[in-house]
Every structure is written in C-alpha cells, then in structure tokens.
Amino acid sequence: MSMVERLQRAHLRNLVPYASARRSMSGGSVWLNANEAPTTPALGNDEPALNRYPAFQSDAVNQAYADYAGVQVDSILSARGSDEIIELMIRAFCEPGQDAIMICPPTYGMYAISAQTHGALVREVPLIETPDLGLQLDLSAMVAQLDGVKLIFVCSPSNPLGNNLALGDLRNLLESVGEQAFVIVDEAYIEFTDQPSVATWLTQYPQLVVTRTLSKAFGMAAIRCGFALAAPALIDCLRKVIAPYPMPASSLNDAQRALAPAAIAAMQRAVTETRALREQWLQKLQAAPWVKRLYPSATNFVLIQVDDAAALVAQCSAQGVLIRNQSSQRGLDNCVRISIGSVQEMQQLEQVLPQ
C-alpha cells in the first residue's frame, strides 16, 4: 500500500469523485450535457459568454505553472489560492478528533484555523532561536512528537517572520519523518528569496508537498489562484476532494496571462525592485531608535519589534497607512509587520512613522 493510500482518510480509498460534465467529457460542438443556459441573457452579443462551466483543471494553466516551477504537469493541482490547498490536505488526510497536524509557531495562522474548522488536532512545536539564522525548526522536538500527526506545515520563507528555514533542516525533517506524515512547505514568498525552492526535491521525497500562489510576487491576489506541487499519487487524492469547478474561468484566464513568458519577466523585474526597496527599509529601520528588534527578511515585508505595537499601528492608521500588528503570535510581543509597497506608498509610510 502506498503512502497516500495508507494515510488518506479511510472512506476516501474507494471514493469515486463526482464526474462533472467538464471532467467526464470533452470535445463536441453542441454542449447539452451540463444543464447550462444556451446564452448569457444579461450580456450583449459582443461580450464573452459566461454560460459555460470552467474546466475542472486548466491544462494550459497547469502546464504553464509546471514549466515555471520546473516540475511535471502531473505533479500540479490548481486551486483557489494556497489556502484551499491547506484545506484539501486536511480534508483528505485528517480524521476529525483523531488525527493531528503539526505547526511551528510563530507561523501562518490558517494552518491551525483550517485544522480546527475540520475538527483535526493541532500540535505546536515552537521555532527556536539560533545565533545566525533567527528562528528555526526544533527538529528533535518535532520528531519526538510525531505520534498521531498526519501533516506537518512549515513556512519558508516565513510569514510572519520573513526569514528562510534552513534547507538542511528541511531535508533532515523529510528524512526523519519518512512516510509517517506529509511535510507541506509553504513557499508563498519563494520569488523574493535567493534560497532555492524545495520543489526540486519532489521526485526524491514522496512525503513532500509544496504550496505556491500567484497572490504575492505575481500581484494577482484578487484572482485567488494557488498550486499544490506533489507526487502524482497525492495530486490524484486531492482531486477526489476538490470542488468540481474550483476556479472561475476569469481567474484561469488571468492566471494564464500571468504565466506567459513576458509576464513572468515583468514579475521578476518587479521583484527585483521590491527587494531593493526592502533592503533600503531594513537599513532605515535598523537605524531607527524606536525599533527594538529588526527581523531578517527574504520576503516582501519586514517584521519589527517596538515598545507598543498597538500604539504604532493606531498612529499609522489614523493617518491612512495600515500596517499589521503581530503581537498575538507566540513570541512576537509588540511586533509589527510592514509590507513593502510602491516607492510612493513607502514615502507615505515614512511620513507617519516615529522620527
């Protein structure tokens, strides 16, 4: 029995997914198999029709992202943002009240919330301080607490910290876990860092899942497009639990445009500009007397610790500039996260920050 078959929820082993009209049939010139309207009455004849259901999975989008990420297309699933991938993993592998996910706070909050909404248990193994790399995985503690854990969520580059997890630690984690659990590496911010993606390890580690998104570097947050990168057997399992038509046609069209070679080149130029602006702001904040701690960043945001996070957020908000209070996160008392916006937006921020 494969790892996917062994770890998936028992009732999914024999589940036959819903065969939607688009998923079960293709081709033809007269479509009378999906109970669709023949036209879109609200639209004029010169506007694109919206009466047809979109594809279950867009071959064009998945192939374009596979090419971009350097993986095979059968290792790709597209979904409504990487948040949906998190949900799908929990729905596919965690029995409510029985199975657990493992998270390493401070980390992205949706891992725990998604688990809790599905009745899965949440086991926390906090990151530990290191001399040179900031907060990193506590590998020995993670391995010691694997009993009952089906999924391990780690975030690299980290949200909300901004730093990379050490590649050596990620490899050691995968090798220590083996086929006991899946390790999901959230790479939402991968374009902003020099550190290589672990997606190149997929053929080596069947327990590895990588989540990606078009929301950050691609600047397409509004279309809600994310991807799971994983072994084909795991992708097939997720296809059982995803919605019949997971993404609107408009989002698929926009995703395809964003993944064209010229658009990728434009994204990479924008990332270079964001990284340069980030480095400028790291220097400014390092010199600011009101900043108690500046966290290293390989993302499009910086995290700082101040005397009173709530007061700083309120001061900026009162003048129309919104930044994020992260003080509710474990170990991040009075910490504030600041996104790197445009040059003009950062100039506005500078005007409202303490001098």
pLDDT at 298 exceeding the cut of 80: yes
* CATH fold match for the domains 3-20+56-259 and 263-352: no
Q: Give phi and psi for 211, each to the nearest 5.
A: -105, 140
Range in 43-57, 99-113, 235-249 the model is least confident about: 43-57
For residue 34, count CB atoms less than 10 angstroms from its CB and return exposed for 0-12, middle for 13-18, buried for 19 or more.
middle
User: Where along the chain do its domains lie?
Assistant: 3-20+56-259, 22-54, 263-352
Three-state DSSP at 277 gives helix
pLDDT grade for 6, boundaries at 50, 70 and 90: very high
Q: For residues 337 and 319, what is the distance between their CA atoms, to the nearest angstrom?
A: 17
pLDDT in tens, 135-174: 999 999 999 999 999 999 999 999 999 999 999 999 999 9
User: What is the DSSP-derived secondary structure letter of residue 276?
Assistant: H
N-terminal to C-terminal alpha carbon distance within the chain = 63
Q: For residues 286 and 295, what is the distance between their CA atoms, to the nearest angstrom?
A: 10
Q: For residues 52 and 238, what is the distance between their CA atoms, to the nearest angstrom?
A: 24
How many Å is the maximal CA-CA distance in the chain?
Answer: 69
Close Cβ partners of 176 (under 8 Å, ≥ 6 residues apart): 139, 142, 143
Asked if residue 68 lies in contact with residue 255, where contact means CB atoms within 8 angstroms, the answer is no
CATH class of 3-20+56-259: alpha beta
Q: Which amino acid is at 216?
A: K
pLDDT in tens, 214-258: 999 999 999 999 999 999 999 999 999 999 999 999 999 999 999
pLDDT at 48 exceeding the cut of 80: no
State the CATH architecture for 263-352: Alpha-Beta Complex (3.90)
Asked if residue 234 lies in contact with residue 209, where contact means CB atoms within 8 angstroms, the answer is yes
Mean pLDDT in residue range 44-69: 91
pTM above the 0.75 mark?
yes
Please tell me the chain's helix, strand, coil percentages from 3-state DSSP, rounded to the nearest 5.
Answer: 40, 15, 45
pLDDT at 46 exceeding the cut of 80: no
Q: For residues 268 and 190, what is the distance between their CA atoms, to the nearest angstrom?
A: 12
Q: For residues 181 and 173, what is the distance between their CA atoms, to the nearest angstrom?
A: 11
pLDDT grade for 13, boundaries at 50, 70 and 90: confident
